Amino acid sequence: MLRIATIGTSPITDNLIEVLNASSEARFVGTLSRDAERAAVFTRDHGGDTPFTRLEDLAASSDVDAVYIGSPNGLHATQALELIEHGKHVLVEKPFAANEAAAQQVFDAAQRAGVVAMEAMRPLHDPAFCQVRDALASLGRIRRASIRFGKYSSRYDEVLAGKRTNIFDCAMASGALMDIGIYAVEPMVALFGTPVDVVSGVVLLNEDTRAITGGAIDGAGTAIARYPDKMVELAWSKITNDDLPVQIESEQATLELDSISIPTHMTIKRRGKAVRGDAKATRTDQGGSVEDINLPRSNNTMEYELADFVYAVEAVRGGTPCDQAPAGPFGTIGDLQATTLAALALTDEIRRQAGIVFPFDAA
């Protein structure tokens, strides 16, 4: 039985504890919050028995084997390093760290300590997304893709009202790219590998917000990732709603997906014989087909990442080197860490092109 504590009291931590309490392989110990009353109430209400108010106490606790880190992005790496130093396995909410260098530091520390350090990137553990990946082989030569995620955030309303929020704060390594765009960047890397290069453009929040955001920070953006034989458009936003589907185009077919973060439906449109164009408004071909596929669904897809994390930890406990521990359908812990690092290298470059600087970048 893996004893897991959590850091943070946000809705995402609620979701993690929901599947943790439903697991037969792990149990919830308690949560860490700087506010003692909040830590106690949150722990009690979620079925735990040991609240924490100091990271040092959590790290040193003999009643905790692993920690889910659901704190603001900017705290992930430092908290993970403290926990790893005390032998704790860590499951870190996406993005794993503020930048590639910080993530590498954590992964190196975990390897030396012989513990699991894994990013909580839901699609890479979701059977629905894995089915999408497996379908790509049937499409033929892929030439273009558009991976997008845009959802208007109530936190943007807070910024417009002059209030500080962790979601748009350079000191917390946040903004639209890091909070929601990572769901486009990292699945792209998982499906297609690391691109040759990336060119991007972002919509920065108005300059008059910078006193509360701590500097230039993005509300939306688009990037083009170039591969030797294909191009992938990435689009993200927290200041508009994006209602377009995810689309992967091959020379023979087009795959459409309703969502990149929690996919539930996939359509594969296979073209027939191309017909020479004319002045008609509609595209025509002969002998094409359309296949609608309902993907596996879960009420809470965090159950998959938790299960893979627990399985990896148990493998390490059994003597498997931590980087070789199996961690779900996208490979070992080492494989997932490589994907995390490649994705963060891309977000680093996109931020560089946009002039978005986090305090952690100079470390």
What pLDDT shows up at residue 284?
A: 56
Kindly report the pTM of this predicted structure: 0.94
52 and 107 together in one domain: yes
Residue 339 lies in a domain: no
pLDDT at 286 over 70: no
Distance CA 79, CA 43 (A): 19
| Domains contained in the chain, number | 2
156 and 261 together in one domain: yes
What pLDDT shows up at residue 213?
A: 97
What pLDDT shows up at residue 360?
A: 87
Domain of residue 176 covers 124-294
134 and 272 together in one domain: yes
Percent of the chain with pLDDT over 90: 93
Residue 239 lies in a domain: yes
Instruction: Tokens 């994006």: give the residue.
Output: 242
99 and 211 together in one domain: no
CA Rg value for the chain: 21
Q: What is the mean pLDDT of residues 153-166?
A: 96
140 and 248 together in one domain: yes
pLDDT tens-digit readout, 68-103:
999 999 999 999 999 999 999 999 999 999 999 999
What pLDDT shows up at residue 287?
A: 67
Distance spanning both ends of the chain, measured CA to CA:
37
152 and 195 together in one domain: yes
289 and 201 together in one domain: yes
72: domain CATH number?
3.40.50.720
Residue 97 lies in a domain: yes
- Mark which of 276, 294, 312 sits at the end of a domain: 294
Q: How confident is the model at residue 314 (pLDDT cuts 50, 70, 90)?
A: very high
Distance CA 115, CA 325 (A): 10
pLDDT tens-digit readout, 32-41:
999 999 999 9
pLDDT at 279 over 80: no
- CA–CA–CA angle 223, 92, 24 (5° rounding): 130
Q: How confident is the model at residue 274 (pLDDT cuts 50, 70, 90)?
A: confident
Residue 334 lies in a domain: no
Amino acid identity, position 234: L
Residue 12 lies in a domain: yes
β-pairing, 117-120 with 218-226? unpaired
Bond from prior residue into 95 cis (ω within 30 degrees of 0): yes
* CB 144 within 8 Å of CB 232: yes
29 and 40 together in one domain: yes
262: domain CATH number?
3.30.360.10
Distance CA 294, CA 277 (A): 33
Using CA atoms of 105, 96, 62, 5 in order, give the dihedral in degrees to the nearest 10: 170
111 and 140 together in one domain: no
113 and 151 together in one domain: no
pLDDT tens-digit readout, 183-221:
999 999 999 999 999 999 999 999 999 999 999 999 999
277 and 130 together in one domain: yes
Residue 144 lies in a domain: yes
Q: What is the mean pLDDT of residues 54-71?
A: 97
Residue 345 lies in a domain: no
What pLDDT shows up at residue 277?
A: 63
Residue 363 lies in a domain: no
Burial of 194 (C-beta count, 10 Å sphere; 0-12/13-18/19+): middle
Distance CA 91, CA 69 (A): 6
List the structure tokens of 123. 């699609």
128 and 111 together in one domain: no
